Structure 1
Amino acid sequence: MGDLSLDPSVPAHAAALDRLETREIAWLGSTGRDGYPHSVPVWFVWHDGAAVVFSQPHAAKARNLRADPRASLVLETAAHGEEWVLLQGTVEFSPEPASAWLERFADVYLAKYGDGLAFLGWTPERITGDYSLVLLFHPQRIIA
Structure 2
Amino acid sequence: MRRLIEGDAPAATDLAARLATARVVWVATVDGHARPHAVPVWFVWTDPRVAIFTPSGTAKVGRVRANPAVALHLDTLDEGAQVVTMSGTASLVPPDDLEEVRAAFAVKYAPDLGGAPISGWFATFDQPLTVHVERIVSWRSTPAGPDFYVVPSEPVR
Please name the residue that 1:110 is paired with.
106
Greater Rg over alpha carbons, structure: 2
Give 5+ residue unaligned stretches, structure 1: none
Q: Deviations over 1:28-67 (max 9, x none)?
A: 1111233111100000011353111001111111111110
Bigger RCO of structures 1 and 2 (CA < 8 A, at least 6 apart):
1
Please name the residue that 2:88 is paired with.
89
Please name the residue that 1:137 is paired with.
131
* Alignment coverage as a number of residue pairs: 138
Structure 1 CA distance, aligned partners of 2:101 and 2:91? 19
Give 5+ residue unaligned stretches, structure 2: 139-157
Give the structure with the larger strand fraction: 2
* 1:16 Cα deviation after fit: 2.8
Q: Which runs of 4+ in 1 moved over 4 A?
A: none
Q: Call closer, same or farther: CA 1:105–1:140 in 2, change over 3 Å.
A: closer
Kept in 2: contact 1:4–1:141 (CA 8 A):
no
Q: Call closer, same or farther: CA 1:31–1:15 in 2, change over 3 Å.
A: farther
Kept in 2: contact 1:56–1:132 (CA 8 A):
yes
Structure 2 CA distance, aligned partners of 1:96 and 1:50? 17
Q: Normalising by structure 2, what TM-score?
A: 0.76
Kept in 1: contact 2:51–2:101 (CA 8 A):
no
Q: Normalising by structure 1, what TM-score?
A: 0.82
Q: Call closer, same or farther: CA 1:69–1:3 in 2, change over 3 Å.
A: farther
